[in-house]
Amino acid sequence: MLVPVAVAAAVTTALATPSSLTCALGPSWQGLHGSLGPARRLQWPKKQKQCRRKVYAIDIRAQFELKPPPYPLDALEPHMSKETLEYHWGKHHRGYVDNLNKMIAGTELDELSLEDIILATYSKGDLLPPFNQAAQTWNHDFFWESMKPGGGGKPSGELLELINRDFGSFERLIDDLRSAASTQFGSGWAWLAYKANRLDVGNAVNPKPSDEDKKLVVVKSPNAVNPLIWDYSPLLTIDVWEHAYYLDFQNRRADYISVFLEKLVSWEAVSSRLEIAKARATEREEEEERKKREEEEKTSDGGEVPEIYVDNKSDDSETE
C-alpha cells in the first residue's frame, strides 16, 4: 500500500511564452523539481466531496463522491449527446471515483483533499498508482463545469482583456486551443490556464512582479496530467481522450473541438476561475513580500553589534 506522507508539490515548469503551446511531459523537458515545502495547501476551491461514514467500529474516512455535471445529461444536445454523457460521466468518471476510493482507503491519502492527493501522487513524474484516478476525477469535474447548455460565444470583461493582451486576439486563442487539442497524440487534455510565476528572488533585490509575469497560457497534457502539477491555475479544459467524442464524432476530433468551442464552452466559468486565480496570485505575492520583510528584519536586528569607538577626549572640538 502506498504511503506518501508529505504533500510533495512538484513544480515542474513547462516552457511557456505568451500564447505558447506547451506539451506536458514531452521527452524534451524533464522540468524543474522545486520543493515548496511540506503540507503546502493549494488555495484552489477544494472540490472536496468527502464524507465520513461510521460503520460499526470502522471509521470510513474520505470517500470521494461522483459529482454530477451542473446540468442534466441531455442538456448539451445536439452538440454532445446524452448517450455520451451517460457513458463518459456515468461510467468513465464514476469509475475513476470508485477506483480512487478503493486505492486510498485506509492510507494517509484519504485524509487529503483531491488536489492534495494529485500533488502528492504526482511524485515528480514517477506517478504513484492513485494519481491517474485522482487526476481524472478532478479533470472531469472541471470539464463538465467548463461547458454549459447554450455555450460558446465570446468572453468579455477582464478575461477578454487578458486574452487580447496575452494572445493578441480571441481568434488567436481559439487557434491555439484547437491546435493543442488536435496535436495531443493519444489521450489527454488541452487547457487554458493562468500562470502566476512564483518568483524565486533568492539573493536579488526584491523586484516588483509586473502583470506580465501573470499570464494566460495554452498547454496540453497526456493522459491524466493536469496543470495543477505545475502550479498553474487551470481556467478551461477540453477532454481529448477518444471516449469524450467517439460516439458523437468518431475519428473527427477536429469537428468535436469546433463544436466545443462554438456551442459548449462556458466563458462565464472561465471568468470566475480567472478571478479566483488572480486573487490567489495576489495573496501569494503579499505572503512572499511579508516573508521577505520578516527575513530582512531578522538580519538587521539579530546579529550585528555596532562597533563603538571610545575616545578619551570627550571634547570633540578640533581646536586645541
Q: By the criterion CB under 8 A, which residues form the site for a copy of itself?
A: 27-28, 87, 91-92, 95, 125-127, 132, 185-188, 222-224, 241-243, 246-247, 250-251
At position 210, the amino acid (one-letter code) is S
Please identify, using beta-carbon distances, which residue of 68 and 125 lies nearer to a copy of itself: 125
- By beta-carbon proximity to a copy of itself, the closer residue of 59 and 126 is 126
Task: Cell 460558446: give the residue.
Answer: 152
222: Cα within 13 Å, side-chain hemisphere: 9
Q: Which residues are bridge partners to 221 per DSSP?
A: 189
**Integer Cα distance of 35 and 126 in angstroms:** 16
CB of 239 to a copy of itself, least distance (A): 12
> Considering the complex, what minimum distance in angstroms separates the CB of residue 143 from a copy of itself?
16
Per-residue cell: 15? 516552457
Q: How many CB atoms lie within 10 A of CB 96?
A: 21
Cβ–Cβ under 8 Å, residues 192 and 220: no
Q: Which residues contact 4 (CB under 8 A, 6 or more apart)?
A: 108, 109, 120, 121, 123, 128
Say how far apart CA 161 and CA 166 lie, in whole Å.
Answer: 9
Give the closest residue to 108 by CA, choosing from 7, 224, 229: 7
Output the nine-digit C-alpha cell for 263: 456551442
CA distance 91 to 247: 14
User: Count of CB atoms within 10 A of residue 226's CB?
Assistant: 25
Min CB(251)–a copy of itself separation in Å: 4
CB nearer a copy of itself, residue 36 or residue 247? 247
Nearer to a copy of itself, 47 or 92 (CB): 92
Residue 185 or 292 having the CB closest to a copy of itself: 185
Side chain identity at 312, as an amino acid letter?
Answer: N
Give the nearest distance from C-beta 119 to a copy of itself in angstroms. Answer: 17
CB of 91 to a copy of itself, least distance (A): 4
Nearer Cβ to a copy of itself (48/123)? 123
CB 297 within 8 Å of CB 173: no
CB of residue 300 to a copy of itself, shortest distance in Å: 46
Query: For residues 47 and 141, is the Cβ–Cβ distance under 8 A?
Result: yes
**Least spacing, CB of residue 271 vs a copy of itself, in Å:** 31
Residue 220 beta carbon to a copy of itself: minimum distance, rounded to whole angstroms = 13
- Cβ distance to a copy of itself smaller for residue 186 or 306: 186
Nearer to a copy of itself, 15 or 247 (CB): 247
Q: How far apart are the first and last CA of the chain?
A: 87
